[in-house]
């Protein structure tokens, strides 16, 4: 079944718990040892053509997204998880056909009193 004009299409690709090992933080010890961060990505796109044709070329290749994010994250050395989230969002919007996205970066064990701390940002492509 093909969806006609006038129908709003909102398709979401979700990647949860993507692990990266990176230098992150402001404390001297954090600048010496890589830590594990967990990323959750929510990518908004239109999968209609991919679904109709059952063809990966018409959608976002989530394996490639993971590869790009892991390579970027593991080669970075930011002080703030906010910076990592922002730069990751910009990279994904530039490299893939994404209308909008949400990037969450979680840092397990950052505080003794909390299981994890994190930041979530949402960005959209400029039309």
The answer as to whether 3 is a domain residue is: no
Could you tell me the two tokens for 58? 């018409």
Domain that holds residue 106: 13-124
Distance, CA of 19 to CA of 2 (rounded, Å): 37
pLDDT in tens, 16-44: 999 999 999 999 988 999 999 999 999 99
pTM of the entire structure?
A: 0.88
What is the DSSP annotation of 8-44?
Answer: ---EEEEEEEEEEEEEE-SSTGGGTS-EEEEEEEEEE
Which are the catalytic amino acids? 107
* Residues 100-117, mean pLDDT to the nearest whole number: 94
Tokens representing residue 77 in the block: 């050395």
Residue 64 lies in a domain: yes
The verdict on residue 96 lying in a domain is yes
Residue 126 CA to residue 88 CA, distance in Å, equals 16
Please report whether residue 97 resides in a domain.
Answer: yes
How many domains, in total, are found in the chain? 1
Domain at 84, CATH number: 3.30.1130.10
Q: Is residue 2 part of a domain?
A: no
Structure confidence at residue 50 as a pLDDT band (50, 70, 90): confident
């Amino acid at each position: 079944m093909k969806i006609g004009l006038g129908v709003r299409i909102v398709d979401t690709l979700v990647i949860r718990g993507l692990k990266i090992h990176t230098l992150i933080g402001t404390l001297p010890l954090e600048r010496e040892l890589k830590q594990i961060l967990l990323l959750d990505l929510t990518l908004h796109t239109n999968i209609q053509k991919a679904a109709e044709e059952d063809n990966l070329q018409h959608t976002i290749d989530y394996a490639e997204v993971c590869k790009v994010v892991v390579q970027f994250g593991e080669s970075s050395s930011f002080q703030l998880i906010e910076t990592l989230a922002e730069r990751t969002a910009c990279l994904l919007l530039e490299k893939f056909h994404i209308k909008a996205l949400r990037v969450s970066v979680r840092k397990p064990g950052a505080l003794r009193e909390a299981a994890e701390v994190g930041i979530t940002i949402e960005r959209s492509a400029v039309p």
